Amino acid sequence: MNKEQKHELVEGLADQMREFGNFYITDTSNLTVEKINSIRRKCFENNITIKVAKNSLIRKAMEAVGGDFESVYGTLKGSSSIMFSKSGTAPAKLIKELRKQGDKPVLKAAYIDSSAFIGDNQLDTLIKLKSKEQLLGEIIGLLQSPAKNVISALQSGGSTIAGLVKTLQEREG
């Protein structure tokens, strides 16, 4: 691979890091071609993009993106594959599923919404993570709950001043 091809690969990885915002670095070394192809197929079925790249090129892509990747740099040893997904949990779930059939892929690191998760022991934590959308939905639901209670009380009180006063008195008691 010449210098220009390496530069294109680094730019491509950096673009995907920016686009997806989530990526997992895994160890898929010593797997057969058949097993790697099976992993690629399952990634495709789950809307996950998987690439194999040299650790130095992955690091250069992270440096090009900017951000706090210091803790991830230490995991770039040995053979590395990188998985990109819009969902922060989809690669973790896939890795867990694949591990039922063997001991690989092993999670080296995951970078999700500006947070780094280092080590294979983080797999269960990653599976349980909630997306930004899920968290926002829960917060909105919590914020709407008191307003719904007031509106409901007003409607049941006949929406008059007397009804409002009565409702507030009942609430205090």
For the chain, the average pLDDT equals: 85
Express each pLDDT in 54-79 by its tens digit.
Answer: 999 999 999 999 878 998 999 999 88
133 pLDDT higher than 80: no
| pTM recorded for the entire structure | 0.74
Q: Which of 151, 19, 25, 158 is nearest to 92 (CA)?
A: 25
Express each pLDDT in 88-125 by its tens digit.
Answer: 899 999 999 998 888 889 999 999 888 889 999 998 88
Lookup: tokens for 150: 């007031």
Q: Please work out, in degrees rounded to the nearest 5, the angle formed at the alpha carbon of residue 52 by the alpha carbons of 15 and 70.
A: 60
Q: List the domains of the chain with CATH numbers.
A: 3-129 (3.30.70.1730), 133-172 (no CATH)
pLDDT of res. 29: 87
150 or 87: which leads in pLDDT: 87
CB-side exposure of 142: number of CA atoms within 13 Å? 6
The burial class, CB within 10 Å (0-12 / 13-18 / 19+), for 70 is: exposed
Q: Which of 132, 144, 27 is nearest to 75 (CA)?
A: 27
Q: What is the 3-state composition of the chain as percent helix, strand, coil, each rounded to the nearest 5? A: 60, 15, 25
Collapsing DSSP states into helix, strand and coil, what is residue 112?
A: strand
